[in-house]
Structure formats: structure tokens, C-alpha cells
Structure 1
């Protein structure tokens, strides 16, 4: 009888330790998490980019990342973006010597987001650029990207093609929910 009681107590103790360990690990993960803001596709290849934020226990933004996925949606690259440079512009995509996509803000806050300008190369041969106004909003503990007041999940980049030269930039951006 004593041995059964001891075994039962030991088993309960082990269960309690395991439960506490799992609770601790879950709590730590709940304090810091990543969230995908928007996927960016294009009509030139099957590569997909995802803009990802890393948030702290207060749900404030700690870091920005650009994740690159192949056509099988396997992540093949992660680039940490210098969030502290967002006021001057962060380069998101560069091809050869051209900055194809930049992200800027004049009022970004890690706590509640702000207005974003997606600056794109329209025509590299002529040096023309085109901008799109987005918003990064915090709704409670969730973050979202808005375009013209509507939530966006996917931005699709349409190529600007010129006879003889081929692709010279981004003609337009299609917004997909």
C-alpha cells in the first residue's frame, strides 16, 4: 500500500513538473512571437516574399524581416530589415544596382504602426519611381497592413515591360485580400 502511494505521489510530482515546464515554455512563446503582415508575389517568377514582424511581450514591434520563399513555399532566405532606418527608407528588394522596392514612413511607431510608403522602381531605364500609400495598424494585439482603408494579405507586383529592353521596373501593384 505504501509503495503504491509513493508511486502515485511520484507520478503526480512528475506530471506536475512536466505541466509546469510546458506552461513556462508556452508563456515564453506567448511573450514573443512572429506575425506575417503581407505576402508579395510577382509575375516574373514563383518567388514569394513575406514581410514578417517580431513582436515582444507587449505586442510592440521588435524587428522587421523579409522572408523569401521558393515555389514550394519553403523559406530559402531571411533578411532582417533595419527598422530604425524606416524614416529614410529601408531597401526591401534590390536587383543589380537598382533599388526596386523601398519602404518608408514619416510617423512609424513600434507600438501602434503608422503610415507606410511603398516606393517602387517604375522604369529603371529612365530613373522613374512610383509610390503606394499603405498603413500599418495595430488592432488590439494584432497587426495588419491596409491599402485604401482595407486589409491586405497579398500584394502582387506587375512588371513594367518595354520593347527590346524587357522588364524595366514595376508597372503597378495589385492588392489581393
Structure 2
């Protein structure tokens, strides 16, 4: 049995989603897991979840003769990769980073540099509801304590539509707030 199949069957059998399998030099096998997504659910992977999957994977990999020197099971973290359609559906409205496979070229229409491939913005469904778009503003972030003029005109919003086939990589943008989580309506 192939490594991908063994790991996926074991992880899903325990009630988790497989996010990523990474094999590195030195025999490191890194497995990233998450809870299956359900709207309104805010479950997070903890150490006990990783330990449970690690123990089960050790047995499964040993039975099938998969060689590795070290096994790591972890949560996706604050910069979680987005790979599948369900990942994008789960994180609509969140700040993400995307990298396109090819620069925008003539499609840029003057809104951004034609050779730009990386973008950070809010993930949204496009107007048709069939595709995706990222929306951002080139306005610099406001520094703590900085006074903002009420007369200042906000920078225009830009939107870029894309398909999953056009993406080289997509991740949640790591946003660290040491004041704790805010309810979704306040963020």
C-alpha cells in the first residue's frame, strides 16, 4: 500500500482530516492533521490529538513496512496551507496569501504590476459564485496610536479573480493578536 493511502486511511479513520504529508531528508515524516470542517465549528487540534494519531500511525506504518527515522504529527498552524476547494470554502472572509503559477501579464489591466505573482487579501467568492477572488487595498496599515484624518480618502479596493488551477500556493496569512480572539463579527 502507498504511503499516502496508509496515512489518509489512518487519519480519517480516527476522525481527522489529512492536511499535508511531507517527507524530508534524514528520514523525517511530517503529517499535518486538522478537524473536519463544519460551519460554525471552532475546534482546534491539540497535543492529545497529535499523540493519538502518532501512536496509530506508528503501528500502521510498521505493519506495511514504511521506513522512516522520525514521525511528527502536528496541527496546520496559523499559516495553514489551502489546497482543496473545501479549504477555500472554510476560510471565506479570512486574510490569505496566494502565489500564482504565472505572472498576471496583460490581464493586470493597469491595476497592479504585470509581473506580480504574490497577493495578500481577503478571500471571497466571485460574482458568479463559481470561482474565487482576493480583495485587497494598497493603503498602508495604521500604526497603533496614529491619528487618521477624517477627510482622508481611503485607497481603492482591488480584486483579482482566480481558479485553483492558477495557484502555485495559498495559505492563511499569519495574523498574531496578543489580545485574544475576537468574535467573527468584530474582526
TM-score (norm 1): 0.25
Structure with max Cα Rg? 1
Which structure is higher in helix share?
2
Identify the structure with bigger relative contact order (alpha carbons < 8 Å, sequence gap 6+).
Answer: 2
